[in-house]
Amino acid sequence: EAGVAQSPRYKIIEKRQSVAFWCNPISGHATLYWYQQILGQGPKLLIQFQNNGVVDDSQLPKDRFSAERLKGVDSTLKIQPAKLEDSAVYLCASSLTRAETQYFGPGTRLLVL
Amino acid sequence: KNEVEQSPQNLTAQEGEFITINCSYSVGISALHWLQQHPGGGIVSLFMLSSGKKKHGRLIATINIQEKHSSLHITASHPRDSAVYICAVPRGSGGGADGLTFGKGTHLIIQP
């Protein structure tokens, strides 16, 4: 069974630029999560989707971050414009449905200069 | 908001030792997760448990819902067990917001 796929794996941008991350969850998984992990800290939830609907985006900085999962499968997370403090690993996870084991992708390492 | 506390933060042990990592949380939950993260690597789910005890190979996880406490044990520890072990709980009360709140992790090093 293929795992959660993410791309790109690494990205370096300058502050005020825009960046987008892509996630393809495990086939059939209805629930998708985006987490931000800053170096030395535990991951922090940014947004949770159930199919193509948002369940929880209370910790998403909506002035610069946006995410979508239009067809209930792949998801894109965008930052516009990026700040230095956005340097982190962005992790995507999926689960069969809510309250199930979450499977994590390899993450996208973002460095904002 | 659920607060998750783990102890110890760092643990160095000799190969073969019995390892215990503790986790406590502040608000009642539907289930608790234990995860493993290797340096530079991804996160792997080890256990999701809502009561009692689960075992997988040399790993054992227990939870006491009344005391809001869970433990992760590793028997016959091996250098390949060296990793960060993280305890996490759902953000919501179980009705839908299942994104996780993570503890700070326990950095485990097993020396040969």
pLDDT digits (tens, 9 = 90+) for B28-62: 788 999 999 988 778 999 999 999 999 999 999 99
pLDDT digits (tens, 9 = 90+) for B95-104: 567 899 999 9
B2 near A CB under 8 A: no
Residue B66 in tokens: 């009344």
The predicted pLDDT at position A1 comes to: 67
Tell me if B98 and A91 make a contact (CB, 8 A cut-off): no
Chain B residues whose CB is inside 8 A of the A56 CB are: 91-92, 96-97, 99
Q: pLDDT confidence of B94, banded at 50, 70, 90? A: very low
pLDDT digits (tens, 9 = 90+) for B66-88: 999 999 999 999 999 999 999 99
- Calculate mean pLDDT across residues A69-88: 95
Q: Among candidates B112, B95, B89, B80, which has minimal Cα distance to B1?
A: B89
- Percent of all residues in chain A with a pLDDT value above 70, rounded to a whole number: 99
Query: Where do the DSSP E strands lie in B1-112?
Result: 4-7, 10-14, 19-25, 32-37, 43-49, 52-56, 59-64, 69-74, 83-90, 100-102, 106-111
Q: Which of A56, A104, A106 sits opposite B99 (nearest CB)?
A: A56
